[in-house]
Amino acid sequence: MANSYLEKQCPHGNCLNHNPEWQKVEERLVPLKSYFWERHFCCGKRMNKYLKVKILQCKKCGRIENTALDEIVVCSCCGYHYILHYDDY
């Protein structure tokens, strides 16, 4: 399959001789293993911790970059949740 991008990436996966022009591809929640949060409960069930990640792609070369946005704690029973913003640390 041919590469349809006009620009290229360097061997290290960075944009080569151009500034990236980012487009948002998707946002997803990635589960985090944390013993601290496994000891916190809501509704008798443990709280799960997730990392909200934004996936960006360069329009010029196809390079993909993941950007962490927030950590989210969610009850596995009722769905109650709250956000731990990185600015709060």
Instruction: Report yes or no: 84 and 36 within 8 Å, Cβ to Cβ.
Output: no
What is d(CA 70, CA 48) in angstroms, rounded to the nearest whole number? 14
pLDDT at residue 1 above 80?
Answer: no
Single out the residue of 7, 10, 12 nearest to residue 58, CA to CA: 7
Q: How confident is the model at residue 88 (pLDDT cuts 50, 70, 90)?
A: very low
Q: What is the pLDDT of residues 37-77, one digit of tens each?
A: 566 788 888 888 899 999 999 999 999 999 888 888 888 88
Q: Does the predicted TM-score (pTM) go above 0.85?
A: no
Q: Where are the domains of the chain?
A: 26-88
Pick the more confident residue, 4 or 55. 55
Q: What is the pLDDT of residues 9-44, one digit of tens each?
A: 999 989 999 999 999 999 999 998 765 556 678 888
